């Protein structure tokens, strides 16, 4: 994509007049701002041929043909989910430009009315079997250090609460009510929801709180290389990914991500007969259609159906070649 698609600003706009800055400032969480800033940086690179960043683009000059060209490039380069996230950021900037009076209404609606990128609806990742979950928890429990106790609580929460790792990292001590097991989660798009910890998950959380102490701040704290809790320093989203990889390796599991625990949470609840609307609320999905994508029951049913068929075939015994005759 050439830089001629959009002219660069001759000088940087004030932040309160830059539609990209206004859009980013209006997002509900720091995680969302970082994610969408990264998306706008990619788009700015496409528009300018790598000559400037998001702050140097005259976003209000974009028209339908520019957005269509960006969409085509993103579709060729990224997965459908990633491309659509970037297009969502672009639509947000266009809307901000319109609301600031920089983009005429007709041009805004034309440019923003671009189709999303359609891709494979099969979700990446995998679900964990009951035996794998048990092995994963056992790997945490065998480590009697603060890290083992903390990691057991995080794994239990990721599975029984279905939380995203960014949501786990954002939890505070005040988010959890140990008397009721109720946890207030700050999710995507600045939306809140309640999830509930029961039985083993509640017990794992209680053990962690005993070790953690009652100081206000992040619910899950960082632990240094010496195995000591770092007071006042919350765990990061990356550290949650790292601990899942570490505990998974200790348990002898195939590679999985924290999001696979969320995927298993949703699929297991649906498989247990919980109605999809309730599961969507617990997962923090705005649409039950999103929740349905995690439902592996149709695939299980298809496999069970095929297993009713039988083809009469017997494996041949391997033929061992006599090399002495060669």
Separation in Å, CA 175 to CA 69, 143, 216, 218, 220: 44, 26, 10, 9, 11
Task: Clarify whether residues 141 and 238 are in a common domain.
Answer: yes
Annotated catalytic residue: which of 91, 150, 164, 186?
164
Task: Clarify whether residues 290 and 166 are in a common domain.
Answer: yes
Q: What is the spatial distance between Cα 315 and Cα 111, in angstroms, rounded to a whole number?
A: 61
Calculated CA dihedral for residues 133, 243, 162, 289, nearest 10 degrees: -100
Domain region containing 25 = 3-112
DSSP class of residue 63 equals -
Residue 194 catalytic?
no
Query: pLDDT at position 316, please?
Result: 82
Query: Would residue 309 count as lying in a domain?
Result: no
DSSP string, 227-273: S-EEEEEEPPHHHHHHHHHHHHHHHTPPP--HHHHHHHHHHHHHHTT
Residue 66 catalytic?
no
Q: Centre a 10 Å sphere on the Cβ of residue 109 and count the other Cβ atoms it contains.
A: 13
Q: What is the spatial distance between Cα 62 and Cα 21, in angstroms, rounded to a whole number?
A: 16
CATH number of the structural domain spanning residue 176: 1.10.443.10
Task: Clarify whether residues 207 and 72 are in a common domain.
Answer: no
Contact 258, 161 (CB under 8 A): no
Q: Is 186 left (phi over 0), alpha (psi -120 to 50) or beta?
A: beta
What are the beta bridge partners of residue 57? 8
CA 294 from chain center: how many Å?
A: 13
Residues of the chain with pLDDT under 70: 1-15, 119-124, 297-299, 302, 319-326
Contact 187, 195 (CB under 8 A): no
Annotated catalytic residue: which of 188, 193, 246, 281?
188
Q: Is 176 helix (H, G, I), strand (E, B) or coil?
A: strand
The separation between the first and the last C-alpha atoms of the chain, rounded to the nearest angstrom, is 62
Task: Clarify whether residues 87 and 153 are in a common domain.
Answer: no
Task: Clarify whether residues 14 and 144 are in a common domain.
Answer: no
Residue 225 catalytic?
no
Task: Clarify whether residues 264 and 185 are in a common domain.
Answer: yes
- The two structure tokens encoding residue 233: 């320093």
Query: pLDDT at position 324, please?
Result: 59
Task: Clarify whether residues 63 and 170 are in a common domain.
Answer: no
Query: Would residue 306 count as lying in a domain?
Result: no
Query: Would residue 66 count as lying in a domain?
Result: yes
Residue 294 catalytic?
yes
Task: Clarify whether residues 152 and 262 are in a common domain.
Answer: yes
Annotated catalytic residue: which of 186, 212, 262, 296?
262
Query: Would residue 322 count as lying in a domain?
Result: no
- The two structure tokens encoding residue 154: 């995080």
Residue 310 catalytic?
no
Annotated catalytic residue: which of 71, 91, 150, 259?
259
The domain tally of the chain equals 2
Annotated catalytic residue: which of 71, 212, 285, 296?
285
Residue 118 catalytic?
no
């Amino acid at each position: 994509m050439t830089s001629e698609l959009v002219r660069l600003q001759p000088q940087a706009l004030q932040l309160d007049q830059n539609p990209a800055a206004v859009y980013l400032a209006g997002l509900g969480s720091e995680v969302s701002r970082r994610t969408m800033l990264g998306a706008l940086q990619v788009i700015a690179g496409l528009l300018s041929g790598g000559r400037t960043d998001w702050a140097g683009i005259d976003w209000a000059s974009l028209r339908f043909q520019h957005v269509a060209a960006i969409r085509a490039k993103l579709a060729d380069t990224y997965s459908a989910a990633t491309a659509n996230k970037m297009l969502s950021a672009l639509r947000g900037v266009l809307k901000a430009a319109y609301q600031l009076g920089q983009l005429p209404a007709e041009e805004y609606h034309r440019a923003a009315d671009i189709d999303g990128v359609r891709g494979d609806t099969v979700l990446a990742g995998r679900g964990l079997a009951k035996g794998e979950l048990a092995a994963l928890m056992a790997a945490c429990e065998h480590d009697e250090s603060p890290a083992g106790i903390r990691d057991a609580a995080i794994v239990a929460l990721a599975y029984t609460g279905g939380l995203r790792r960014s949501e786990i990292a954002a939890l505070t001590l005040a988010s959890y009510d140990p008397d009721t097991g109720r946890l207030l989660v700050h999710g995507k798009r600045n939306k809140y929801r309640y999830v509930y910890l029961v039985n083993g998950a509640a017990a794992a959380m209680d053990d962690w709180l005993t070790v953690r102490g009652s100081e206000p701040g992040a619910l899950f704290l960082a632990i240094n290389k010496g195995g000591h809790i770092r007071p006042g320093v919350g765990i990061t989203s990356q550290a949650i990914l790292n601990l899942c990889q570490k505990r998974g390796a200790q348990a002898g599991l195939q590679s999985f991500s924290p999001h696979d625990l969320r995927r298993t949470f949703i699929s297991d609840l649906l498989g247990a007969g919980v109605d999809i609307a309730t599961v969507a609320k617990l997962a923090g999905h705005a649409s039950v259609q999103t929740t349905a994508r995690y439902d592996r029951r149709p695939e299980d049913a298809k496999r069970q159906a095929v297993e009713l068929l039988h083809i009469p075939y017997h494996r041949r015994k391997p033929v061992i070649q006599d090399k002495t005759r060669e």
